[in-house]
Structure 1
Amino acid sequence: MPPELLDHIFNFLALDALPSLALTSRLFHSLSTRIFYRHIPPLPLAATVRCLTTLASPSSSALALAEYVRTFEIGDIDVHSRMRKLLRSFYSLLQRALSRMPALTSLSFLLPGPTAFYLPKSPSFQLTKLTVSCDFDKMLAQFLLTQPSLKTALFCGPDRPHTTIHIDALPALHRISASPLILAMLVPGRPVKEVELCLVHPWLLNAAVLETTMQIVGFSRGPVRSLQIISHLTEGAATVLEALECIPRSLGGLSNLALHAVSGSVTKELLDGLPPILAQFKSLRSLMLLSKNKSDALHDAALTPGLPALWASACTTLECVALPQATFVRNARYGWVTLQDLERLLADREQMLVHREREVREREEELQEEQRVLEERERRLEERVRVLRAEA
């Protein structure tokens, strides 16, 4: 069997099966090892240290293993490591290991604090996706300057004063998740199309903050077509609605809008106040509202089924509404239905079409039989005519 086909098959195996498979033969060892090190997930502290020690080893075999790595995730190691500060030797080991991964394309660096110092100064890899929880400081800004291929960036850490980033950094940035101040540094002048606004403090969801942030996001060369807001809903519905009104004034061309409430409550007053805001969007196709509070209005089974049609009456371009309990889509034949209902309706329609096809096939067989009978009768008549002519 060709190695390419074996490699494709091995990709469907569980990771814990690959070490045993590697002991089978040299070919299986090579293929299994390549797949095993291709994607390194978050590991416990002891396993992380062993993995980094292997990848940072100066041996040629370790160098070959490091060259296999495409996705690397580290951070939130375990409770023990979070309770005490990791030793500097750990970060030095991590830095050496990262510097030996030339094929790395996705990095999750979830180590809080000023840990960007330990990212490679002259990395051999070119990332397309980066997730970090370290401080957004000068060291991180310098690292970003070395990643012109980065398309998706998620910044979970706080920004630090006096941090700036060069205008030439991140020329391919397409999707970003960050706080308002970090967005102000990275979005203007770059081809950002998807923005995730993280408002970690409850008091940030107000008109003043959103007005300024939306104006800044509007300077993207994308332009921005998708906006997701992750925030706390501790303020009243009037304050939240006033803040949301700022979005269409600067980003009226959005295609997708999402609001994720990590705390607080989505009230009926807030839901009823959305139509005038949605009416200001020119081409909004998808709306998503999520809430972790399972007792709020967004989880009311009697209320939510009527919301999509209500909002679509204000925003005629709306085609999809995602709520905690169901996702609704607009269908030309059935109107607003859930994906489950649409699947059932399509299945019923498919069965109906199959039934009709069977009826048509049976009718065609009946017509063919009638045609055969007519042809046989016509043949007999012709034979009889010939017999009569011969007798005459």
Structure 2
Amino acid sequence: MNTLKLHPLSSFLPVETLDHIFRNLSREELCPVLLLNSFFHDAASRVLYRCIAELTAKQVIILVRTLSKSDIYPPLVRELIIGLEETRVTGNFFRLLHRALQRLNAVTSLTIEFSHFDNTRELTWIFDGCVFSLKSFTTSIRSDLSLANFLGMQPDITELCLRGFQSGQPFTLPTSALPKLKSFRAVHSGPCLLTEIIRGRPIEGVSLSLYGGDTFQSLDTLLLSTSTIRRLTIMSFDTDKPNILLPEVAARLPELEALHIVVLMAQYTLDVLREASPLLSRFRALRYLTFMAPGAPASVDEERSIAAQWHESCPTLKTIILPRGMVWFQREGKWTSWNDTEHPPILL
């Protein structure tokens, strides 16, 4: 019987132990390990390629070129983040990226973001011929029919983030698409796109942007989920009083547990915050509330008073973040903030 010859280290250093050690090294510390010997190379490669993120544009190009030519490294990739928002790339790069993506048969989490200039092109073709099955997908590629068709071929996605602009083409999803979708985030989204994504799917968490004129229609789409939405984040570009959102959200999602509102165009005042207090009584299970808006900052004591009033109207509230950015929570019957304690609460 032939005896398998292994590197001496393998006789007393289990691969699991080596993997644990390498996972605590930075990318810069891990790269030299690849050159030590074949045993270390194999173990370090599994860790280095498992999750690929935070690369410079130059590193992205080197990585994509490596993945497009190698048969060894692509099967190791589970999570890949390519962020080229500040870089304009050439057609040759897109073709190289296409070949690399075709080799990633085991990736489950994919983030691909390009510059505004590049996103004006039709880029969904870079996914043609890919065999991976994603669970999480984030992209800045424009939301058009080609992207909808790609999503229709990814039945295992549970987390989806569309950061691209809507095109003039219809964005139409088959009713059978995205059957497992639980979380959806959209940056440039109107009621039509929201309807296509949310309708008939078990979504429990949504992040969306609201624009003047479409606010109520966009909020109406939240009723189309087959599950109860528990978490909602709103980025509002509307110029109406910011507290107008609270009763509109409560009327549609009274079982909401976490609500985060960031208002960019409308100014808040202390009176606006006080007027919001009785509106919160419509929420039956709200535990986490963030309300950020531009305006003259209130004092710490004034925010403390607002937090107490909001909790009185909505007793289920556990954590509140107001425009100063301070996190308020109740301890020993009093509302306090991180500045008052060394042991802040665990947020959702």
Q: 1:287 to 1:20 in 2, by over 3 A?
A: same
Unpaired segments ≥5 residues, structure 2: 1-12
Alignment of 1:334 with 2:344, yes or no, is no
- The residue correspondences of 1:2-13 to structure 2 (distance < 5 A) are 2-13=14-25
SS in 2 for 1:279: helix
Partner Cα separation in structure 2 for residue 15 and residue 47 of structure 1: 12
Deviation of 1:148 after TM superposition, in Å, equals: 0.9
Deviation of 1:339 after TM superposition, in Å, equals: 4.5
Letter in 1 for 2:330: R
Offset from partner CA, 1:242-282 (integer Å, 9 cap, x none): 34421111111111111123455432232122113211112
Question: In the alignment, is the contact (CA less than 8 A) between 1:210 and 1:247 conserved in 2?
Answer: no
Moved more, 245-254 or 8-17: 245-254
Letter in 1 for 2:155: P
Q: 1:46 to 1:302 in 2, by over 3 A?
A: same
Moved more, 217-226 or 176-185: 176-185
Partner Cα separation in structure 2 for residue 276 and residue 137 of structure 1: 42
Question: In the alignment, is the contact (CA less than 8 A) between 1:92 and 1:118 conserved in 2?
Answer: no
Q: 1:316 to 1:88 in 2, by over 3 A?
A: same
Q: Which residue of 1 is the match for residue 26 of structure 2?
A: 14
Q: Which residue of 2 is the match for residue 320 of structure 1?
A: 319
Query: Which residue of the other structure, out of 176, 193, 197, is the alignment partner of 1:168?
Result: 176
Alignment of 1:135 with 2:142, yes or no, is yes
SS in 1 for 2:300: coil
Unpaired segments ≥5 residues, structure 1: 347-392
Q: Which residue of 2 is the match for residue 285 of structure 1?
A: 287
Moved more, 22-31 or 9-18: 22-31
Partner Cα separation in structure 2 for residue 39 and residue 226 of structure 1: 27
Q: 1:247 to 1:67 in 2, by over 3 A?
A: same
Q: Percent identity over the alignment?
A: 27
Deviation of 1:211 after TM superposition, in Å, equals: 2.2
Offset from partner CA, 1:161-195 (integer Å, 9 cap, x none): 32211111111111111123321111011000001
Q: Which has the larger radius of gyration?
A: 1
Q: Which residue of 2 is the match for residue 71 of structure 1?
A: 79
SS in 1 for 2:127: coil
Deviation of 1:326 after TM superposition, in Å, equals: 2.2
Question: In the alignment, is the contact (CA less than 8 A) between 2:57 and 2:84 conserved in 1?
Answer: no
Question: In the alignment, is the contact (CA less than 8 A) between 1:173 and 1:192 conserved in 2?
Answer: yes
Q: 1:344 to 1:129 in 2, by over 3 A?
A: closer
Deviation of 1:153 after TM superposition, in Å, equals: 0.8
Offset from partner CA, 1:168-225 (integer Å, 9 cap, x none): 11111111111233211110110000010123xxxx24xx533222222112012111
Partner Cα separation in structure 1 for residue 127 and residue 184 of structure 2: 22
Question: In the alignment, is the contact (CA less than 8 A) between 2:53 and 2:81 conserved in 1?
Answer: yes
Deviation of 1:340 after TM superposition, in Å, equals: 5.5
Partner Cα separation in structure 1 for residue 90 and residue 263 of structure 2: 36
Q: Which residue of 1 is the match for residue 215 of structure 2?
A: 210
Moved more, 13-22 or 109-118: 109-118
Q: 1:327 to 1:268 in 2, by over 3 A?
A: same
Deviation of 1:330 after TM superposition, in Å, equals: 2.6
SS in 1 for 2:131: coil
Letter in 2 for 1:138: L
SS in 2 for 1:119: helix
Aligned residue pairs, count: 324
Partner Cα separation in structure 2 for residue 76 and residue 311 of structure 1: 42
Partner Cα separation in structure 2 for residue 147 and residue 265 of structure 1: 42
Offset from partner CA, 1:263-304 (integer Å, 9 cap, x none): 55432232122113211112211111234x5x633x632421
Letter in 2 for 1:335: K
Q: Which residue of 1 is the match for residue 190 of structure 2?
A: 180
Q: 1:31 to 1:180 in 2, by over 3 A?
A: same
Q: Which residue of 1 is the match for residue 3 of structure 2?
A: none
Question: In the alignment, is the contact (CA less than 8 A) between 2:338 and 2:344 conserved in 1?
Answer: no
Q: Which residue of 2 is the match for residue 222 of structure 1?
A: 227
Question: In the alignment, is the contact (CA less than 8 A) between 1:286 and 1:318 conserved in 2?
Answer: yes
- The residue correspondences of 1:263-274 to structure 2 (distance < 5 A) are 265-274=267-276
SS in 2 for 1:259: strand
Question: In the alignment, is the contact (CA less than 8 A) between 1:211 and 1:247 conserved in 2?
Answer: no
Q: Which residue of 2 is the match for residue 107 of structure 1?
A: 110
- Structure with bigger helix share is 1
SS in 2 for 1:37: helix
Partner Cα separation in structure 2 for residue 143 and residue 177 of structure 1: 17
Partner Cα separation in structure 1 for residue 256 and residue 161 of structure 2: 20
Partner Cα separation in structure 1 for residue 21 and residue 122 of structure 2: 39
Normalising by the residue count of structure 2, what TM-score does the alignment of the two structures yield? 0.86
Question: In the alignment, is the contact (CA less than 8 A) between 1:189 and 1:220 conserved in 2?
Answer: yes
Partner Cα separation in structure 2 for residue 137 and residue 308 of structure 1: 43
Question: In the alignment, is the contact (CA less than 8 A) between 1:215 and 1:250 conserved in 2?
Answer: yes
Normalising by the residue count of structure 1, what TM-score does the alignment of the two structures yield? 0.77
Moved more, 249-258 or 210-219: 210-219
Letter in 2 for 1:307: I
Query: Which residue of the other structure, out of 34, 39, 59, is the alignment partner of 2:51?
Result: 39
